[in-house]
Amino acid sequence: MAEKVLMKGNEAIAEAAIRSGLKCYFGYPITPQNEIPAYMAAHLTKKGGTFIQAESEIAAINMVYGASCTGARAMTSSSSPGISLKQEGISYLVGAKLPAVIVNIMRGGPGLGNIAPSQADYFQSVKGGGHGDYRMIVYTPETVQEAADLTMKAFDKADEYRNPVLILGDAILGQMMEPLIFKEPSGRTFDKSSWKLGNRKDRPSHLINSLSLSEGVVEEWNWELKKKFDLMTEKEMMVEEYLTDDADLVFVAYGTSARICRAVVNQSRKEGYKTGLIRPITVWPFPSDVISKCTRKTKDFFVVEMSLGQMIEDVKLAVLGRASIHFHGRPGGGIPAEPDIMKQLKEIMKK
Amino acid sequence: MKKVYERNNIALDMPSPYCPGCGHGIIHRMVMDAIKEVGQADNTIFMAPVGCSILAYTYLDLDVCQPAHGRTPAAATGVKRALPDSLVVLYQGDGDLAAIGTAEIVHAVNRGENITAVFVNNAIYGMTGGQMAPTTLEGQRATTCPEGRNPMLGQGYPIRVCELLQSLRGLYYAERTSVHDAKNVLKTRKAIKKGIENQMAKKGFSFIEVLSPCPVNWGMTPRKALEYVEKEMAAYYPLGEFKVDGKIV
Ligand SMILES: Cc1ncc(C[n+]2csc(CCOP(=O)(O)OP(=O)(O)O)c2C)c(N)n1
C-alpha cells in the first residue's frame, strides 16, 4: 500500500503532478519554488516527459499553451513576480479554452519584495490578474498532504472545464517538510479529440485561438464562458468548517494563515472562548454562502491574512453588514503570530 | 491537356484577407505548397503570429495554433516537444518576432528546436496601421516616425535578424529571400521547402526571412512597393544563405 513519505511542499506538488500524468513542465527559476523545476528536471524526464527551463516566465506559460494545444497535460510554476509575467498567458489559456495547471508559491511584494511567505497575490489570483472577463479555480492548500491531493485534483478540473487551474501556496507551504501519503490519481480520462491539434486524420482542421474580429462573436463566447464559470461556482467550491457550530467568533483564513488560526482556535477554546474557523480551500469559487449562513449565529468574523487585507473584501461581500468583521494582517513577508492574534481576539471578546 | 496550375487544396475557398499587393498571400501559398509536397498536411501544426497573418486560419485548412503577440516560438516549442513527429511551422512578422518576441525567437533557435520558421519582414507593423517596426529602414516613414526613422533621435537601427541569429549554435539553416520578382519568389519557394525538409529529417531549427511589400502602410502603389523591396530593403538586408548544415556561410 501507499507508504508515508517526508517531503517539502514544493516536491510533493511536483511528484503529485507527475503521478497525475503530467507530460510537459516549463518553468523559470525563482525562490521559493525552485524545488519544483529541480524535481521535474530530475524525475519528469525519466518518465519520458518534457522539462524545459524557459528563458522567462512569459515563455514558460506560452510553452504550456503550445503543449496543452496538443492535448498533453502541461504545467508551470513560479512565485509572485513570475506569476505577474504569466498573466497575459493565463488570460489566453482561458480565452482559447486550454487546460493547464499553474502553481504560485507566493513571496513578499510588491516589486521584487523578498522571498518570505506571503498571501498578497489574492487579488491577482481571484479577481483577474490578466485582462478580460475570466475566472479560474484557485486551490489554497494548508498542508503538504493537501498540496499533493489538490494538485491531482487540479489536473482533472483543468481538463474537465478546459480552463487553467491555479494552486496558490506560500513560501512556508513550499519549503516545509511534512509526512504525506500520495493518493492514487483518479484515473479519469478526458476526450480531447474534438479540439486538440496534431495527428489529424479524417477530421476537419482544428483551431486554437482567442481572436475574432467579427461582430458579436467575442461577446457570444464570453456568455459561453460564463456558463462554465457558473458551473464551477456551483460545483467546485471547497471549504472546511472547523468548530463553527457553537462559535461566537469565526476566523476566516486560508493556507498558512488558516494553520495559524486553527492553533489559535484550539488554544482559545482551552481558555473558554468559543471560536471556530472557516477555511476556504478554493478562494475562487469563494465560499460566500457558507460565510453568509454563518452570520445567522455568529456576529464576529475575524479575517487573518498575510497581506494588508485582500480576501477580507470577499468576506465583507458575504457578510453584507450582518456581522462585525475584524482583521489581522501581516504584509511583505510577515507571519501572523499566535499571541498577537490571541491578544486581539481577547479584546474583541471583551466588548 | 496538361494541367499547369492547380489550386492547393490546403487553401480553403475563401477570399484573401490581405490588402492588394501584400506579400503575405504569396508566402502563405508557398508554405502550403511545401507542406503539400512533403505530404504532411494532416500532420502539420501552423503556428500563427499576432499581426496581419493572424488571419491565416481563415483560409488554411491546417491545424492552427494562435498564441500571444511574439510568443509563437515558445508556444511552438511546447507543441513540438509534446508532438515531436508533427510538422511545426512558425510564421511571424517583424514586430512579432524582432520586437516583442525577441527573447522567444532567440531562445527557441538556441535550443535548436526542430521547427521551421518563416519570418516575414515587411519593415512595418501592418496590423496596427503602419507603426515603426524594428526592421523599418533608416529614413523610412511610419506613423510613429513621421519624419522617417532616425537612429540619431534614439529610434534605433533596423535589425538584421538573420545576422543576429547566425552565431547561435542551435541554428541549422538560415536564408534571407524576397518576393519582389518571379526569380526571387522561386528562391523563396526553394528555401521554405528546404526548411521543411530539414525539420522532417530532424536537423534542427530552420529560419527563412522573406522581404515582403506592404504597399498600403508604406503609402506606395504595389509596383512601387516591389521596387522598394528590391532597391532599398535588399540593399540593407542582403539576400542569400546565412547558415547551411549548421555552418555559417
Ligand atoms: C501584447 C500586445 N501588444 C500589442 C498588440 C498589438 N499588435 C497587434 S499586431 C502588432 C504588430 C504586428 O506587426 P508585425 O509583426 O510586423 O506583422 P504584420 O502585421 O506587419 O504582418 C501589434 C503591435 C497585441 N496584440 N498584443
Tell me, what amino acid is at B48?
A: A
The C-alpha R_g of chain B, in whole angstroms, comes to 17
Q: Are A21 and A185 in contact (CB under 8 A)?
A: yes
In 10 A of CB B29, how many CB atoms?
A: 17
Q: Are A49 and A22 in contact (CB under 8 A)?
A: yes
Domain count of the fold of chain A: 2
Look at the block and give the residue holding cell 484557485.
Answer: A138
**Atom of ligand 1 at shortest distance to CA of B96?**
15
**Atom 7 of ligand 1, residue of closest alpha carbon:** B128
Cα separation, B197 vs A326, whole angstroms? 67
Tell me: do A91 and A193 sit in the same domain: yes
Q: Which of A18-22, A286-290, B2-6, B82-86 has the lowest mean pLDDT?
A: B2-6
Q: Which of A145-154, A282-291, B48-57, B224-233 has the lowest mean pLDDT?
A: B48-57
Element (H, E) at A278: strand A275-280
- End of a domain among A235, A260, A285? A235
The rounded mean pLDDT for chain A is: 97
The CATH number given to whatever domain includes residue A337 is 3.40.50.920
Three-state DSSP class for B41?
helix
What does the pLDDT average to over A306-324? 98
Cα diameter, chain A: 74
Q: Which three cell numbers stand for residue A105?
A: 508559491
Q: Say if ligand 1 is within 6 A of residue B119 CB.
A: no
Question: Per residue in A110-147, pLDDT tens?
Answer: 999 999 999 999 999 999 899 999 999 999 999 999 99
Q: Which three cell numbers stand for residue A205?
A: 482542421
Residues written for chain A: 351
Question: How would you list the strands of the sheet with A249-252, edge to edge?
Answer: A239-242, A275-280, A249-252, A300-305, A324-329
Tell me, what amino acid is at B126?
A: G
Q: Which residues of A touch B68 (CB under 8 A)?
A: 62, 65, 88-89, 92
List the one residue out of A18, A29, A98 whose CA is nearest residue A66. Answer: A98
pLDDT of residue B6 exceeding 90, the answer is: no
Element (H, E) at A102: strand A100-106
pLDDT at position B166, please? 98
List the one residue out of A332, A334, A335, A336 whose CA is nearest residue A108. Answer: A332
Tell me: do A94 and A112 sit in the same domain: yes
In the DSSP assignment, the letter for residue A42 is: I
In the DSSP assignment, the letter for residue A202 is: S
- End of a domain among A235, A266, A293? A235
List the one residue out of A164, A33, A149, A144 whose CA is nearest residue A93. Answer: A164
- Is B24-248 CATH 3.30.70.960? no
Q: Which residues of A touch B80 (CB under 8 A)?
A: 66
**Atom of ligand 1 at shortest distance to CA of B53?**
21
Name the residue of chain A whose CA is nearest to B54's CA.
A211
Domain ranges of chain B: 24-248
Q: Say if ligand 1 is within 6 A of residue B69 CB.
A: yes
The rounded mean pLDDT for chain B is: 96
Task: Answer whether A69 sits within 8 Å of B79, measured CB to CB.
Answer: yes
pTM equals: 0.97
Tell me: do A256 and A223 sit in the same domain: no
Q: Which residues of A touch B61 (CB under 8 A)?
A: 205
Tell me: do A250 and A230 sit in the same domain: no
What residues form DSSP beta bridges with B208? Answer: B118, B175
pLDDT of residue B128 exceeding 90, the answer is: yes
What does the pLDDT average to over B165-186? 98
pLDDT at position B231, please? 98
Question: Per residue in A84-98, pLDDT tens?
Answer: 999 999 999 999 999
Percent of chain A residues topping a pLDDT of 70: 100
Residue B81, φ and ψ in degrees, nearest 5: -70, -35
Tell me: do A195 and A291 sit in the same domain: no
Question: Per residue in A176-225, pLDDT tens?
Answer: 999 999 999 999 999 999 999 999 989 999 999 999 888 999 999 999 99
Name the residue of chain A whose CA is nearest to B59's CA.
A205
List the one residue out of A313, A322, A262, A323 whose CA is nearest residue A286. Answer: A313
> What is the band of A1 on the pLDDT scale with cuts at 50, 70, 90?
low
List the one residue out of B64, B31, B30 whose CA is nearest residue B47. Answer: B64
Domain coverage including residue A316: 239-350
pLDDT at position A56, please? 98
What does the pLDDT average to over B137-148? 97
pLDDT at position A96, please? 97
What does the pLDDT average to over B108-123? 98
Nearest to B66 among A59, A72, A211 (CB): A211
Tell me: do A183 and A224 sit in the same domain: yes
Q: How far is A74 from chain B (nearest CA, A)?
A: 9
Tell me: do A71 and A209 sit in the same domain: yes
Q: Are A16 and A149 in contact (CB under 8 A)?
A: yes
B15 C-alpha to ligand 1 centroid (Å): 22
pLDDT at position B13, please? 87
pLDDT of residue B139 exceeding 90, the answer is: yes
Tell me: do A220 and A243 sit in the same domain: no
- Name the residue of B22, B55, B90, B127 to mutate for ligand 1: max ligand atoms within 8 A of Cβ: B127
Tell me: do A128 and A257 sit in the same domain: no
Tell me: do A121 and A220 sit in the same domain: yes
Is A209 at the interface with chain B, CB within 8 A?
Answer: yes
Q: Which of A91, A207, A210 to mutate to test the interface with B (most CBs of B within 10 A)?
A: A207
In the DSSP assignment, the letter for residue A3 is: P
Tell me: do A212 and A248 sit in the same domain: no
The CATH number given to whatever domain includes residue A64 is 3.40.50.970
What does the pLDDT average to over B68-90? 98
Look at the block and give the residue holding cell 525567437.
Answer: B105
- End of a domain among A235, A253, A276? A235
Cα separation, A147 vs A140, whole angstroms? 8
Q: Say if ligand 1 is within 6 A of residue B53 CB.
A: yes
Tell me: do A230 and A260 sit in the same domain: no
What residues form DSSP beta bridges with B246? Answer: none
What does the pLDDT average to over B233-241? 98
Question: Per residue in A221-260, pLDDT tens?
Answer: 999 999 999 999 999 999 999 999 999 999 999 999 999 9
Cα separation, A128 vs A299, whole angstroms? 31
Q: Which residues of B touch A50 (CB under 8 A)?
A: 81-82
Nearest to B64 among A62, A64, A207 (CB): A207
List the one residue out of A77, A242, A68 whose CA is nearest residue A161. Answer: A68
Three-state DSSP class for B228?
helix
Q: Say if ligand 1 is within 6 A of residue B228 CB.
A: no
